[in-house]
């Protein structure tokens, strides 16, 4: 791949986002902040058609606000927010990837919130179209979005517990109960919650 093409993007913006990333090789801090071990703080990729994608792992969730403000100043658009769980040392830890687009280039920011009480600041005051994404991740992933201007449920009825879908056991996990440990891990985790 052509190095010039890989680095296609707004240099000034890329420098600002790099400054909000952890130094390469940084480890998880006491409060669960920083970059997990073995994960690059920043990398750049290009698809088969020459479109550039830049990936940044924020030093802490609080860095999201200055990063989002910088992207807004540059005229970027929020495309999507992807929350997901990563299994680490047998425990699920949430991470959230924010995808922005500017002049055909995609900038991805990954926030690594504290696993014990996953929380990120709301970027809806900066990007109005983050509203639905943030409300969805509050109700489906039980992630606390701080200072959200309208934290109502989006899909699920208000009476249902937050993160209810994390508790569900899919049919395939049930069916494979005899040959994998997934089912028992889930049951034991459920017991732990009650205790």
Dihedral over Cα of 9, 11, 12, 14: its sign: positive
Alpha carbon distances (Å) from 23 to 36, 41, 78, 124, 136: 11, 7, 25, 28, 31
Spell out, one character per residue from 116 to 155, where the chain touches another protein: x when CB under 8 A holds, - when not: -----------xxx-xxx-------------------xxx
Give strand pairing partners of 95: 84
Q: Cα(55)–Cα(108) distance, rounded to whole angstroms?
A: 5
Interface residue with another protein among 28, 79, 115, 119 (CB under 8 A) is 79
Residue 82 interacts with another protein (CB under 8 A)?
yes
In the region spanning residues 21 to 40, those forming contacts with another protein, defined by CB under 8 A, are none
Residue 4 interacts with another protein (CB under 8 A)?
no
Tokens of 33: 């902040």
Contact 138, 151 (CB under 8 A): yes
The CB-of-117 to another protein minimum distance in angstroms stands at: 21
Contact residues toward another protein (CB under 8 A) are 45, 47-49, 51, 53, 55, 77-80, 82-86, 97, 99, 101, 103-106, 108, 127-129, 131-133, 153-157, 165, 168, 170-173
């Amino acid at each position: 791949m052509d190095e010039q093409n890989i680095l296609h993007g707004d240099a000034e913006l890329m420098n600002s986002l790099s400054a909000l990333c952890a130094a390469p090789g940084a480890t998880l801090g006491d409060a669960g902040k920083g970059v997990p071990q073995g994960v690059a703080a920043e990398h750049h990729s290009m698809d088969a058609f020459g479109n550039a994608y830049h990936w940044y792992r924020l030093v802490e969730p609080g860095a999201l606000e200055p990063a989002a403000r910088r992207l807004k100043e540059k005229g970027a658009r929020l495309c999507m927010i992807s929350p997901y769980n990563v299994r680490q040392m047998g425990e699920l830890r949430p991470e959230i990837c924010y995808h922005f687009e500017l002049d055909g280039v995609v900038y991805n920011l990954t926030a690594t919130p504290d696993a014990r009480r996953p929380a990120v600041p709301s970027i809806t005051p900066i990007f109005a179209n983050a509203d639905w994404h943030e409300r969805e991740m509050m109700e489906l992933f039980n992630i606390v979005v701080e200072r959200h201007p309208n934290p109502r449920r989006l899909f699920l009825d208000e009476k249902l517990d937050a993160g209810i879908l994390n508790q569900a056991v899919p049919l395939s996990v049930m069916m494979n109960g005899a040959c994998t440990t997934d089912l028992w891990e889930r049951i034991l985790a459920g017991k732990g919650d009650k205790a």
